[in-house]
């Protein structure tokens, strides 16, 4: 049987795959870290690489979380799948393959929910896009979805999910602290495609 340690390392390495960096270099010949916000996540990929590449990066980042959650289910059934999911998110934020400077944990966190609590994932997507449509701020929509995930987990009263959603919400909000300041200062970029 695969041990906890191996699953954790694999989850971190999967999370560390820098989707934005790979898509940027392979299909556009640029290092996304040198453009836009310098972030490796989906938002900067949309702004820097365009809609198609942004979608590819976002989907890849989501799948990192989903695959990580499935690892314990397949290879180590006595390990809670959310543990692996958290390590994938840590890998996404601090990727060993990209100098430990990664994304803001939103898409990969969503991927965890996709693999572990699909109805919750659908609700988070709905909350995200409704907020995005109203405010045009990706950062605000991301943070609101993270907060709603905690509320949802409390309603369904899944203790491991409550703990993990609280951790992920903290990650998401902490990683968006510069965005929060820009929203307050009214100079946070707004999307134009929705």
Identify which of 140, 151, 107, 137 has the alpha carbon closest to the alpha carbon of residue 125: 107
| Cα-to-chain-centroid distance, residue 37 | 16
Identify which of 115, 101, 58, 93 has the alpha carbon closest to the alpha carbon of residue 167: 93
CA distances from 27 to 16, 17, 23, 45, 51 (A): 20, 16, 6, 12, 13
Question: Quick one: pLDDT at residue 1?
Answer: 56
Q: Which helix (H) or strand (E) holds 67?
A: helix 51-75
The answer to whether residues 45 and 54 touch, using CB atoms and an 8 Å cutoff, is yes
Separation of alpha carbons 129 and 65, rounded Å: 20
Give the pTM. 0.93
**The residue to which tokens 């929509």 are assigned:** 141
Residues 6+ positions from 98 with CB-CB distance below 8 Å: 16, 18, 21, 33, 40
Question: Quick one: pLDDT at residue 190?
Answer: 87
Long-range CB contacts for residues 71-76, cutoff 8 Å, separation at least 24: 71/7, 71/10, 71/11, 72/7, 75/1, 75/2, 75/7, 76/1, 76/2, 76/3, 76/4, 76/7
Question: Quick one: pLDDT at residue 140?
Answer: 95
Averaged pLDDT, groups of 10, the chain, 194 residues long: 88 96 92 86 87 92 97 93 96 94 92 95 96 94 95 95 95 93 91 76
């Amino acid at each position: 049987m695969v041990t906890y340690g191996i699953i954790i390392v694999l989850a971190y390495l999967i999370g560390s795959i820098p989707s934005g960096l790979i898509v940027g270099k392979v299909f556009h010949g640029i290092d996304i870290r040198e453009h836009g916000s310098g972030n490796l996540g989906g938002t900067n990929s949309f702004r820097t690489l365009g809609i198609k590449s942004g979608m590819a990066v976002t989907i890849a980042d989501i799948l990192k979380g989903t695959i990580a959650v499935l690892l314990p289910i397949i290879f180590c059934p006595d390990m809670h799948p959310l543990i692996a999911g958290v390590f994938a998110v840590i890998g996404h934020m601090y990727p060993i393959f990209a100098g430990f400077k990664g994304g803001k944990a939103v898409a990969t966190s969503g991927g965890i929910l996709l693999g572990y609590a699909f109805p919750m994932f659908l609700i988070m997507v709905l909350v995200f896009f409704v907020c995005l449509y109203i405010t045009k701020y990706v950062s605000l929509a991301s943070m609101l979805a993270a907060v709603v995930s905690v509320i949802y987990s409390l309603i369904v009263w899944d203790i491991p999910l409550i703990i993990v959603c609280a951790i992920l919400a903290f990650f998401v909000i902490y990683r968006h602290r510069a965005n929060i300041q820009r929203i307050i200062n009214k100079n946070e970029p707004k999307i134009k495609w929705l």
